[in-house]
Structure 1
């Protein structure tokens, strides 16, 4: 796949206006393609015109496609291409497109669907699946033809793995586990979606050049919308946020996932989402199917600014340590700061400064690293007081994290993995050094 992965600034609370996402094309993509504008020079079509798109979707590789008329744009930048050069079987223009999330049917999961009239085409790696095209009613019983748009809605965001189909003022929720239970609704603020897409747990309706983020269960629209697609989703001359700072070498290095620049913090939450923090920005480490992007921390954790020194998760809460302060956010569909924070780290954890901190899944034990020592705090206790310090083989630790694969100790561009905290405490020699960019961020070294 040579197409660039879509990178577009989405966020929980509109603070993402200052963020500029990193683009992925190939595993060893360093992001250097951000140094030029890459606007369409073919004369075929202008993605930055005052017209919207007929459809927007991610494919099975995490590449974002923007469809309009007979053209498609692949990724945040890049020229217009003819749709039929990639998908010769589909009549143009397409009506709608989405990537399906159907874990119970591996033969369907991750397929990209294109719709035209009353028919559907399913593709995997841009190859038409056997038996397609099919009638929409045969693939998705109860869903009408001539759709406006569609998007996936995995379990946890919707009640179960589902697809939302939009037509005019109606939205049809199609439950993949119960195909007979199609629900038709009308949401006053989410209507006439000329395109729709789901990205990293967030759901968007496009109405020509404007877009709105909405709740896929209730149809509620988040504050501050609509916004212009050309300022956030696609690269347009003289538009967008951070246009000049994109040329700053330091910022480019921070936002380039493959730069081997160190991370100040790592953590994973109860749902398995993994985050790496660097210079006031963060990456979702578990988001390969949706591509690699750098976001400002304030775009997801509203009110959080600056560098994160350490981060950990406990009981559906994310703790961020910055210098001598700690801030806690409730982990929900939208992260919200716990009232009364930030607070002094001394009051919260009984110490004034830390180098790294981590909890393991389903445990109240917080391990704190300072220098070459490790101490334990039981988060269930009040007040929280660190236990006796024990020496570890590491020094100058940047960050630490514990997940289902074990304990990870990060230093510079490398990390070391241990089975559990006891193995870390007992280690006399460093285990094999592993590369962060290669193993967490899909970079070829």
Structure 2
């Protein structure tokens, strides 16, 4: 029998998503997962979405037809209004609806990146970002983070050292409660980052799925939520001074409304947005008009702010249960800091514990997390882990911590 044609080079020996590779463990009876960044089903506004879906299905049958690649006008208008609440001034024509924000990033990679092109990525980084860039055969250059987010000084030094032929085309960052570290990028670093983009001429991808999930703080006089720093997109509007804003803003309703809608969006310069629309035409023609209309009707209903507020309160409870449990039960072998928002805790553990041995012991104890190596472009072992507190409730989190403690104790003794 004749051999079949070879696969394209990026897919000759492709690596799957390191998080989705953990799915088989989830089917094990009794497993508690702190792995996937899934929003809590208990926080979905099922009643509000049912009403929105009913409204979406009444009247105009165009909801069941193909739609414009850029998105339904009614949803683009609603998303532009939502952006204005986040301090971003934009018209509906600057917004493109995507099938989740991951598609938006994939479209950017298709439009901008050729094999060998340099892309800067904050590390540790969202694994799907690294996966998309590897498949595009990009040259990934890591930019370090600390507890205040991407290190702008380190980025400036890195840009000075890169040879001209490695001038970056793109930088990827999650400035608000990053995945996986949960950090909030400091305001002065935001300014410096966008200024570097303007000076050196590269696009900045500001991925913001978690920005509305900010926790209250005891530091505020009334214990309320402190004001968020300005978005990179807003800073870009100011620094561009009428020219091209180098910041591409991505967001999604997956973490605040429901992942099943698969509604994300991109806000970008018109020249880039047009090219991404052409790329999207070859991928899915358009994001589901029915899902878009449900999202539009839901945002129109006025229920969105209360839904987000419920999530903020509950996720803060769950985060505190996880962080306090680690502090009290892991005997100093695992360390973490409470994030100011989002869905994740980033933890480090003792160098004397082998990363793979700890993961295996945790699975045996029926608790699952994502090993830190999934968030780096290299394959070296890292004594870190990402723990998500969003999906399990407080009793499950407390039980998960006890199981993790048993795994650590087993390895130490």
TM-score exceeds 0.5: no
Higher-helix-fraction structure: 2
What TM-score results when the alignment is normalised by the length of structure 1? 0.26
Larger strand fraction of residues: 1
Per the normalisation by structure 2, the TM-score is 0.28
Greater C-alpha Rg = 1
Higher relative contact order (CA 8 A, sep 6+): 2
